[in-house]
Amino acid sequence: MHTTPKYRKAAWLLAGALLALAGVARALAAPFPPLNTTPTGSQIPGKLVWADLFTSSADQATQFYCGLFGWTAAKIDQKGGEYTIFSNQGQPVAGLAPHSAGKENLTSRWIGYVSVADLKATVALVEQNGGTVHGKIRRFPDRGSQAIIADAEGVPLGLLQSSSGDPGDEDTAIGGWNWFEIYARDPKNASSFFHTVLGYSADPETHSGRNSEFVLSSSSNNRGGIAPLPEGADIHASWLGVIRVADIDQTLAKVQSLGGTVLVTPHAVEYGSRFAIVGDPTGGTIGLVQYSDNANPASSP
C-alpha cells in the first residue's frame, strides 16, 4: 500500500500531545509470550512485528479493539499493574500498556515495533544519526530484546530482536499488521535516517509521481511509507499502523457502534485496495486496509 493525497489529511488528525516517552518505555517485568509459538528460525529486519497501545483507558480500549478485529485479550502481571496481550486468531499481535502515574490525561497512542537483527548495533546507529533512545535495551526471556527510540524528528518507534524469530512474509492475516506510515516534516531526511539506521531501501514513491514521498522496503517487500506533514501545521511527526480487514465498510460500521470515529473515509489506493483511518474512543489512531482480489500491496513492486 502506498501513499495518496488523502494521507495528508490524516496527518492533520494525528495531532495531539506526544507521550512522555521515558514513561512509556518503562520496562515491563512481565512474562511476555514469544512472537511465535513455534520458532521460525528466521529474522526479517524491517518487518513490523508488534505494536503497543499506551492508554489510560485500558478497559475501554480493549473492548474497542476486540470488538473491531475479533482480537482476544489476556492480562499479565506488570509489577503490580497489568499489561494486556492482544491475540489475532491465536497469534499474539499487539499489547496494551497503561500510562504511568501522572500521565492519565495523555492521548492514547500506538507505537509499532520493527524487527532488527542486532539490537545493540541498531541502537548505536540511532544515536549516531540524530535519533534518541527513550527506552534502553531490555531482555525478556521468551520475547527477546527490545528498545524504544525516536528518529531525528521525534517519531517514536520500537525495535525488537525476537528470540523466536519473526513471522513469515506470507499474506497478512485478517486482523494483522499490514503496513505503517510515517508523517514527517522532511520526508527526504526521514528516509535517509531509516535507510541508514534500519537498513530499509528508501525509494521515491513512483505510483503517485511525488518525489517528496518515499516507500520503505526490506527483503523485497514494501513495509511502509513516509508522507509529508501539511505545511505550517502545528502538529508533530507521527507513526500510523495499518491493520488488514476483510470488509472495510463493515469494519467502519463497527467503529461507530463501538464508540470510535472515522477520521478518513475509505478511498481507493494502489492495486484496487481501499484504505481508511479511524480513532478509538480513547484517542488512539489506526489505519485499515482491505485488499482487492487478495492482492497484497506490500509485496507488489
pLDDT value for 79: 65
- On the question of pLDDT at 80 being above 60, the answer is yes
Picking from 106, 132, 162, the residue at the C-terminal end of a domain is 162
Q: Are 216 and 194 in contact (CB under 8 A)?
A: yes
Q: Are 160 and 45 in contact (CB under 8 A)?
A: no
The mean-pLDDT minimum among 105-109, 245-249, 281-285 falls in: 105-109
What is the rounded distance in angstroms from the CA atom of residue 175 to the CA atom of residue 274?
15
The verdict on 153 and 233 lying in the same domain is no
What is the rounded distance in angstroms from the CA atom of residue 119 to the CA atom of residue 111?
17
The mean-pLDDT minimum among 8-17, 18-27, 275-284 falls in: 18-27
Picking from 142, 162, 182, the residue at the C-terminal end of a domain is 162
Picking from 132, 162, 192, the residue at the C-terminal end of a domain is 162
The verdict on 80 and 10 lying in the same domain is no
- On the question of pLDDT at 187 being above 70, the answer is yes
With 0-12 CB in 10 A as exposed, 13-18 as middle and 19+ as buried, what is 99? buried
Average pLDDT in the 177-199 region? 94
Average pLDDT in the 55-60 region? 92
Best CA proximity match to 143, nearest among 79, 92, 72: 92
**Residue 8 — pLDDT band, cuts 50, 70, 90?**
very low
The verdict on 202 and 132 lying in the same domain is no
The verdict on 149 and 177 lying in the same domain is no
Q: What are phi and psi of 225, to 5 degrees?
A: -135, 165
The verdict on 222 and 141 lying in the same domain is no
The verdict on 178 and 240 lying in the same domain is yes
Residue 66, CA distances (Å) to 52, 159, 246, 255, 286 in order: 15, 25, 15, 11, 14
Best CA proximity match to 183, nearest among 243, 150, 153, 226: 226
Q: In 3-state terms, what secondary structure has residue 53? A: strand
Domain extent for 84: 22-162
The verdict on 75 and 139 lying in the same domain is yes
What is the rounded distance in angstroms from the CA atom of residue 147 to the CA atom of residue 159?
5
- On the question of pLDDT at 233 being above 70, the answer is no
Q: Are 80 and 87 in contact (CB under 8 A)?
A: no
What is the rounded distance in angstroms from the CA atom of residue 95 to the CA atom of residue 87?
9
The verdict on 270 and 176 lying in the same domain is yes
The verdict on 153 and 239 lying in the same domain is no
* Helix H or strand E encompassing 65: helix 58-69
Read off the C-alpha cell for 31. Answer: 512474562
Angle between helices 58-69 and 248-257 (to 10 degrees): 150
The verdict on 201 and 254 lying in the same domain is yes
Residue 188, CA distances (Å) to 148, 205, 225 in order: 22, 11, 12
Read off the C-alpha cell for 120. Answer: 545493540
**CATH code assigned at 154:** 3.10.180.10
Q: What is the pTM of this model?
A: 0.85
Pick the residue with more confidence: 40 or 182?
Answer: 182
What is the rounded distance in angstroms from the CA atom of residue 160 to the CA atom of residue 164?
11
What is the rounded distance in angstroms from the CA atom of residue 26 to the CA atom of residue 135?
7
The domain tally of the chain equals 2
The verdict on 198 and 85 lying in the same domain is no
The verdict on 35 and 9 lying in the same domain is no
Q: Are 104 and 56 in contact (CB under 8 A)?
A: yes
